[in-house]
A and B are shown apart, each in its own frame.
Chain A
Amino acid sequence: MEVGKSLWFIILIKLVIMFLILRLFFFKPELRHYKTEQQKATHVIENLTKQP
């Protein structure tokens, strides 16, 4: 079905852009620099308490 092919194409292109381009290169989790949960917690506590 013609419309079905167009829709599959849109879904595929969208997912590639979202997960292989945006997610990998642009939307990196900010807390990835910290290895342990404790380090992440300490970083956030510092942000929440030292901000003027």
Chain B
Amino acid sequence: MILTSLVDASRLQFALTAMFHWLFVPLTLGLGILIAIFETKYYKTNDESWKKLTQFWSRIFAINFACGVATGIILEFEFGTNWSNYSWFVGDIFGAPLAIEGIFAFFMESTFFAVMYFGWNKVSKGFHLLSTWLTAIGANLSAYWILTANAWMQHPIGVAFNPVTARNEMVDFWSIVFSPVTLSKFFHSVMSGFLVAAVVVIGVSCWYIKKKCNKEFAHRSIKYASVFGLISLLLLMITGHTSAVTVARTQPMKLAAMEGLYRGENGTPFVGFAILNPKKSYNNTEKPYIVNLSVPKALSFMVDSDFNSFVPGISDIIEGGYKYKTLDGEEKTAISFQEKVERGNMARRALALYGQYKDDPDTLKRNEILSQAKSYLDKNFEYFGYGFLKNPEESIPNVPLTFYSFRIMVMLGGYFMLFMLLCYFFCRKKVLEKKNWFLVLSIISVPLVYICAEAGWVVAEVGRQPWTIQDLLPVGASVSGVSANNVWTTLIIFAVLFTTLLIAELKIAFNQIKKGPEGITWN
């Protein structure tokens, strides 16, 4: 029997590894593009000060890259050790995007990063610029393949389950790669990386202005970063909307948890701010919120472009019986939790029969049983994971964590929109130096943008619980039979390692920032 503490320890370890990894990744994604823009400016103008500006931000990029590179590999170690059932079950699907990421995108990024960092005055200006762009594109392509794998777990399509090998096999590569969930997840995540980079560049530059040094350098950096940040924010809002639509179609329970919504209605409001009632559960009549500030009918409009559409709540999803649309636009009637459990159990029993009779020497009996088992499995496989759940509570994610993380992300997103508009305005009016409060705010905004980016991932990953693969495999069935103590040991080792790496990065980065851009006198 798998102990709950093992599942909890494995989840905690995976969550901490992923969150640490995401501290390094977003800056790489966005700063790479910004550096490429700065260098393009240098290429066009031949102005040495643009070259020095590019080189300074390249050093910050290099520090972040060196500390962050390969931290994601720990996640792959964890798949094999702590999540062996999951790894085997999903192997063929997850393996392909990760392999493409490693062989193609990551090598591209690393190779051209070497030219970008060490190649100044050693290769032609044109080739150096090309290398910088390819480094930035490689980093973002890397993200695409990783997010393809993640999106598949949220919306498993393009596969067929093979009961002989107990693995999902890819039948439609392109439907996985270009699934609407993949596309919205990629663009939303990457744009959040762009926003992180813009805020970091603005924060560091405002620190220079406050210290009254490198002012020309700082103004130039802010001018480009604020436009970059504004464009990223606009795209973040658009992709945030498409993400909400795909979540509504594919993971209604996640959307309900994000909104703290227990009972849906025609014309469901969007909760701007609320304090959740801790006594509320799916099967009582308590009010869901203690305090609630909502925009009438807005959630229905956001997910269905219809002010009067029905958005199901947690209790509705458990009871079933409502109409909903799939991603393909097909209208269906939702079945209840109980029915999903029954169909999941049928699928599990069919798989057990398959395992039991697949080597039976009696060919006639074997073929008959396997054919029947395969038919049951195919009919019910989409609910396979429900066969592991015992009661409806197990199908509900942590509502407060999902709800408040979503609010933190959205509120900080709104704050950054205002921040970027002010930054752009002050920069254009050349009054930044006189706005001491804004300079301080810019520095404080650097940790805030990381909180915003991490909160987004908490919503995405906590909100999809209990599933490692949506509807097909819950976390409890995904873990290995390792001891919880082993998991705790590796958790502590990696926590120490990653914290050290983070401290090292911050220390080296702060030193470089204090030194400032070298080799040129800035005003």
Binding site for B on A (CB under 8 A): 3-4, 6-8, 10-11, 14-15, 17-18, 21-23, 26-31, 37, 40-42, 44-52
Contacts and interface: CB of A to CB of B under 8 A. Distances in A.
Nearest to A21: B493
Interface string B250-270: 000000000000000000000
Majority SS at the chain A contact face: helix
A26 B493 contact: yes
Nearest to A17: B497
A41 B164 contact: yes
A22 B490 contact: yes
Interface string B80-98: 1110110111000000000
Contacts of B348: 48-49
Contact of B508 (A7, A15, A26): A7
A9 B70 CA distance: 15
B80 A48 contact: no
Q: Counting chain A CB atoms within 10 Å of each CB, which of B165, B166, B354 scores highest?
A: B166
A30 B482 contact: yes
B69 interface: yes
A29 to B, nearest CB: 4
Nearest to A40: B88
Contacts of A50: 352
- The 3 A-B residue pairs with the shortest CB-CB distance, nearest first, are A30-B84, A27-B77, A49-B352
B501 A49 contact: no
Interface string B502-523: 0010001001100000000000
B443 interface: no
Contacts of B77: 18, 22-23, 27
Contact of B351 (A8, A48, A52): A48
B1 interface: yes
B74 A18 contact: yes
B166 A45 contact: yes
16 contacts: A3-B62, A3-B63, A3-B508, A6-B504, A22-B490, A22-B494, A23-B77, A27-B80, A30-B84, A30-B481, A30-B482, A31-B80, A41-B167, A45-B354, A47-B85, A49-B351
A9 to B, nearest CB: 9
Given A26-B486, A30-B81, A45 B493 contact: no
A29 B88 CA distance: 11
Interface in B43-87: 59, 62-63, 66-67, 69-71, 73-74, 77-78, 80-82, 84-85, 87
A26 to B, nearest CB: 5
B70 A41 contact: no
B23 interface: no
A20 B490 CA distance: 14
B317 to A, nearest CB: 24
B501 A41 contact: no
Contacts of B490: 22, 26-27
A48 to B, nearest CB: 6
A33 to B, nearest CB: 10
Contacts of B88: 31, 40-41, 44
A7 B81 contact: no
Task: Categorize the interface residue count of chain B.
Answer: 35 or more
Nearest to A15: B70
Majority SS at the chain B contact face: helix
A3 B164 CA distance: 54
Given A7-B63, A22-B493, A29-B81, A44 B501 contact: no
Given A3-B512, A18-B73, A44-B88, 19 more contacts: A3-B63, A3-B508, A10-B504, A14-B70, A14-B71, A18-B70, A18-B77, A22-B494, A30-B84, A31-B80, A41-B88, A42-B355, A44-B89, A45-B354, A49-B351, A49-B352, A51-B2, A51-B477, A52-B1
Nearest to B481: A30
B81 A27 contact: yes
B355 A49 contact: yes
Contacts of B167: 41
Q: Counting chain B CB atoms within 10 Å of each CB, which of A17, A27, A52 scores highest?
A: A27
Given A30-B481, A48-B89, A41 B165 contact: yes
Contact of A29 (B62, B63, B80, B351): B80
Contacts of A27: 74, 77-78, 80-81, 490
Contacts of B62: 3-4, 7
B333 interface: no
A45 B66 contact: no
Nearest to B1: A52
Contacts of A28: 80-81
B388 interface: yes
Nearest to B82: A30
Given A3-B59, A3-B63, A14-B70, A45 B477 contact: no
Nearest to A31: B84
Contacts of A18: 70, 73-74, 77, 497
Contacts of B494: 22
B80 A41 contact: no
A38 B192 CA distance: 43
A37 B70 contact: no
A40 B165 CA distance: 8
